[in-house]
Structure 1
């Protein structure tokens, strides 16, 4: 976790770990997803903002150019994933895994009867570690 430079992202990861260790599996899914999105938002801001805004505007003429990470949060996460694939930040296979993670996050983040266990959480976090944190956080 020391390799994660951004304080906000590090706090999300720490909370996700605490949730997992406490058996709060749905919360661990939600917090780890927030951490991954934070990393991806930071990557866009640092290295791809102009390309991202151009692609977002191309797809949606009403898009108001993002200038901050909070501005990026105005976009639905599924659309955000589509934009970052289009500009080459991630590939289609990584996007497919992240979209699956987003679906799991949505299932865990809203009232319903979904149950998840330690192994599902571990697999989710491992996928985020390998495809987001290790690639963009160091």
Structure 2
């Protein structure tokens, strides 16, 4: 997979999505693999959380009655990303199998975002960014 192919796959997506992933790809080109992984997760989680919230806001409020939030931005400040992933499964936005994958991807992102000895290879970073782009595209309506 060439980095140009990753860039082409973003064609027709919203500008904010293109920004996250274009920057992630630029990090890969500059051999900043951890940064690329962090940005790819950020782009994915931005779209994932918006899509889940749009489809299941009432279900989220019912499933987590103790969570007091006025909108998605406040909810994302209130809870950890891992908690959002769990509620997404609980309201049937994702499956248990998808949750396991997302948990693994979040864990890899956390290894890259916090001081650790983890240094992903170029291939691992490209694979991660590719996975995040493909998953993100699955939450978006098809381009016109």
Q: Which runs of 5+ in 1 are unaligned?
A: none
TM-score by length of 1: 0.86
Where does residue 109 of structure 1 map in the other structure? Answer: 113
Q: Is the 8 A contact 2:20 2:43 kept in 1?
A: yes
Q: State how far apart, in whole Å, the 1-side matches of 2:17 and 2:68 are.
A: 25
Where does residue 20 of structure 2 map in the other structure? Answer: 12
Root mean square deviation, CA, Å: 1.6
Runs of 4+, deviation exceeding 6 Å? none
Where does residue 33 of structure 1 map in the other structure? Answer: 41
Give the Å deviation of 1:48.
1.5
Q: State how far apart, in whole Å, the 2-side matches of 1:73 and 1:98 are.
A: 19
TM-score by length of 2: 0.82
Q: Does 1:136 align with 2:139?
A: yes
Q: State how far apart, in whole Å, the 1-side matches of 2:62 and 2:11 are.
A: 34
Q: Using the TM superposition, name which of 44-53 and 26-35 deviates more.
A: 44-53
Where does residue 12 of structure 2 map in the other structure? Answer: 3
